Structure 1
Amino acid sequence: MKIHIVAGGPETYIPSLKDYQTEDAVWIGVDRGVIYLQQAGIIPDRAFGDFDSVTEKELNTLNSSAVHLDLFPAEKDQTDTEIALEWAVKMNPEAIILFGSTGGRLDHFLANTQLLARYPETEIEIIDRKNQLSVFLPGTRSVHSDSRFPYISFLPVSPEVRDITLEGFKYPLSGCHIKLGSTLCISNELIRPSGTFSFSSGILMMVRSTDE
C-alpha cells in the first residue's frame, strides 16, 4: 500500500495527480486538497482538516459524499497536514507522497519539510511540478537519472552529516562532513545513468529539481 496525501497548497504547484495513480494507492485529501482530488476525477479514501479553505457549498457536497471526513477545529496545535501524515505513518505503508504542500505560505512549506525529518525511517516524498524532496538515515543508496528532475542537491537536516560520499556525480565527494547551513552539496548532477550517495551519521535531505 502507498498513501498519497494531497494538501491544500496552490494548485499550480501540483503535478498531474493521475500520473501517480496505481492500484495500491490510497488517496487522502487535506482541507482543499480533497477538492483537487475530485477535480482530477479521483475519489479520496479519507479527508482530514478544518476545511476553512473550502466554500460552504463544497463542504456540504463533501458531507453528502461517500468520503470519510475527519473534521477538526480551526484552532488546534497541529496543522491539517501533520494530522494526516501522522495517520498515514501509523498505517505502515510502503511509501507516502505529499502533494500540495509547497508554494504559497513559506511557514507551511518549512513545517512540511521538517515533517519529513520527523519520520526518517518512513519513505516519504514531497513532490511538486519542479521538485522532489526526501529524507534519509545513514547508509548507501542508489539514485537514477530522471530527466524530469536533473539537478540533485543534498542538505543536512541534522546539525551535522558525516562522511558524505557521492559517486557517479558531476561533483563527487569522498568522506566529507557538512554542517547545518552548508551549501556545498547544492545543484549537482549525475554523469552516469545512476550513481550512489552514502553517509555514516546524521539525517540528509535530497532535493531533485528542474528549472523548467
Structure 2
Amino acid sequence: MIINILAGGPEELLPELTDYAEENTVWVGVDRGVFHLLNREIMPEIAFGDFDSVSPEELEFIEKHVSNMQRYKPEKNETDMELALNWALAQEPTMIRMFGATGGRLDHLFANMHLLLNPLKEKNPATVYLIDRHNIAFLKGPGSYTIEKMKTKKYISFVPLTLDVSGITLEGFKFPLKNRHISLGSTLCISNELISDYGTFSFSEGILIVIRSHD
C-alpha cells in the first residue's frame, strides 16, 4: 500500500497528482489540501486538520464529501501534517508521499522536512518522500543504496542532516567521492549528476537528506 498525503501548500508547486494515483494508493487530505483533492476529483480516505485555512463555504463543501474527518483545535502539540503522517505510518505502508508541503512559510517547510525523520526514529521501513513540482526529497540512514537516473530531475544533492556524515562514497556520479567526511553546513555534495542509468551512494554514520531536482 502507498499513502499519498496532500497538505495545503501553494497549488502552483504541486506536481500532476494523477501521476501518483497507482492501484492500491490511499489519499489523505490535510487542512486545505482536502479541498485541493476534492477539486481534482480525488476522494481522500481520511482528512486531518483544524481547517483554519479554508473558508466557511469550503469547509461546508469538505464536510459534505468527506465522511472521515479528524478535526482538531488550532492549539495543539502537533502540526496537521504530523498528525496525518503518524496515522499513515501506523498503517504500515510500503511508501508515503507528501505533497503540498513546500513553499510559502519557511517554518512549515523546515517542520515538514524534519518529519521525514519519523520513520527512521521509529525504525519503520517505509520511506517518506517530500514531493513538489521541482523536487523530491527523502532521508537515508547509514547503508549502501542504488539510485536510478531520472530524466526529469537530473540533479542529485546529498545534504547532511546530522552534525557529521562519515564515509560517504558516490559511484556512477559526475563528481564521485570515496570515503569522505562531510559536516553540517557543507555544500560538497550539492548538484551532482549520474553519468549512467544507475549509481550508488553509501555512508557509515549520520543521516543524509537526498534531494532530486531540476531547474
TM-score clears 0.5: yes
Aligned residues: 211
3-state secondary structure, aligned to 2:4: strand
| Mapping 1:17-96, distance limit 5 Å | 17-96=17-96
TM-score, normalisation: structure 2: 0.96
Determine the C-alpha separation between the residues in 2 that align with 1:189 and 1:82: 32
Q: Deviation of residue 64 (structure 1)?
A: 2.2
Q: Deviation of residue 76 (structure 1)?
A: 1.2
Equivalent position of 1:178 in the other structure: 182
What is the RMSD of the two structures over their aligned residues, measured on CA atoms? 0.9
Equivalent position of 1:141 in the other structure: 145
Q: Deviation of residue 91 (structure 1)?
A: 1.1
**Residues 139, 210 of structure 2: 8 Å contact kept:** yes
**Residues 3, 88 of structure 1: 8 Å contact kept:** yes
Q: In terms of mean alpha carbon deviation, does 109-118 or 61-70 score higher?
A: 61-70
Asked whether 1:167 is paired with 2:171, we answer: yes
Asked whether 1:151 is paired with 2:168, we answer: no
Equivalent position of 1:117 in the other structure: 117
Determine the C-alpha separation between the residues in 1 that align with 2:117 and 2:158: 14
Identity of aligned residues (%): 50
Determine the C-alpha separation between the residues in 2 that align with 1:65 and 1:10: 22
One-letter code of the match for 1:135? L
Q: Deviation of residue 139 (structure 1)?
A: 0.8
TM-score, normalisation: structure 1: 0.97
Deviations 1:65-95 (A, max 9, x none): 2431000001111110011111111111100
Q: Deviation of residue 118 (structure 1)?
A: 2.8
Deviations 1:107-137 (A, max 9, x none): 1001100111232243000000000000001
Equivalent position of 2:199 in the other structure: 195
**Residues 117, 157 of structure 1: 8 Å contact kept:** no
Q: Deviation of residue 147 (structure 1)?
A: 1.0
**Residues 44, 66 of structure 2: 8 Å contact kept:** no
Equivalent position of 1:105 in the other structure: 105
**Residues 47, 66 of structure 2: 8 Å contact kept:** no
**Residues 170, 199 of structure 2: 8 Å contact kept:** yes
**Residues 169, 178 of structure 2: 8 Å contact kept:** yes
